[in-house]
Amino acid sequence: MLFFSLLIIISGVLAQDTAVQSLLPQISDQNQDSIRQDSVISTTGEEGIKKSLNKRDWNITVSKIFWSIILISLALLSIRYTTKILETLGERWAYLRLLIKRLIPIYRITTWTIVIYIVIAWIIAPPIETLIAVTASAGIAVGFASQDILKNIFGGIMIIFDRPFQVGDKIEIGNHYGEVVQIGLRTVRIVTPDDSMVSIPNSELVSQSVSNSNAGQFTCQVVAELFLPADIDLIQLRKITYRAAAVSRFVYLKKPIAVIIKNEIHQGRSLLKVRLKAYVQDLRNEFAFSSEMTELVIKNLLHKGLVTPESLASVGAA
């Protein structure tokens, strides 16, 4: 019994040793995998630490502020002097005036967009997380603090891309009529016939009806109105009015000239309202042409004896 018991013990030990030896490669492989994982974790941890350190190391330095101010100042000077040069060329080359002036707002917006991108992306170069956080915070603050300014800015962008009118056009909005001389991000500036500069917020231009006299063309239709006695010779009146427009140095003869005569009642008196409609070669001659038509027609009517100073005075009194 003792022998058999010893034999069983020895065989069990041998079997245990064999099992242990068979498990050794597996244990070694597991140890190697754990070592690799530890090394990967340590490497990843080091990279994360480096990234976090890099994020912590970013800040706004005096050098970044200095170069940002320099770049913005250069952009401001460039826009100002380039705009003056383009305006001078536009006035000198009349046939290119509208084209050159329409390029000015596009040039201004494009330049500022490029400058802002360079300052943020290249000079300041904040981490994307910081940029998103700052942009969101600034957007919320600006949105609450300057809603009207943002409306005007978006209105200016819509005007530039939708183009209901352009620089050089004659527009009428509300009580204001004049030539568009500048389309900005906040306002549109027009020059009235009295040579007054009027600034209109872009939000008003987007939300109201705007009348465009020439729609991007050099030519512009002009209407001259006259009130005359009802007993005048209509055939002679039509000839004199038409001829006055046809011989004008301002008229554009490739487009039609129309003379419209209507009968109207003013203070119980019957009067003739004459509307002379013609196109001028340059829209800037609109008021010069209208004044010239009034002078020539009245002068010729008096010369032909079709009206008298007394009849014209009575018409004016009516």
Render pLDDT for 178-187 as a digit per residue (tens, 0 to 9).
989 888 878 9
pLDDT at 139: 67
Whole-number percent of the chain with pLDDT over 90: 28
Helices (H) and strands (E) in the chain, counts: 9, 8
pLDDT at 141: 62
pLDDT at 2: 34
Collect all residues with Cβ–Cβ distance below 8 Å to 105 and sequence separation of at least 6. Answer: 160, 167, 182, 183, 184
pLDDT at 265: 85
Phi, psi of 41 (to 5 degrees): -60, -40
118-144 in b/e burial notation, b at 16+ Cβ within 10 A? bbeeeebebeeeeeeeeeeeeeeeeee
pLDDT at 20: 41
pLDDT tens profile 66-100: 998 999 999 999 989 998 888 888 778 777 777 88
Query: 228 and 301 in contact (C-beta within 8 Å)?
Result: yes
Task: Report which residue type is found at 287.
Answer: F
pLDDT at 104: 83
pLDDT at 14: 37
In whole angstroms, what is the distance from residue 122 CA to residue 116 CA? 10
Other Cβ atoms closer than 10 A to 12: 10
User: Which parts of the chain have pLDDT scores under 50?
Assistant: 1-21, 23-24, 27-28, 31, 35, 40-44, 46, 49-50, 52-56
Three-state SS across 253-296?
CCCCCEEEEEEEEECCEEEEEEEEEEEECCHHHHHHHHHHHHHH
CATH 3.40.366.10 fits 220-317, yes or no: no
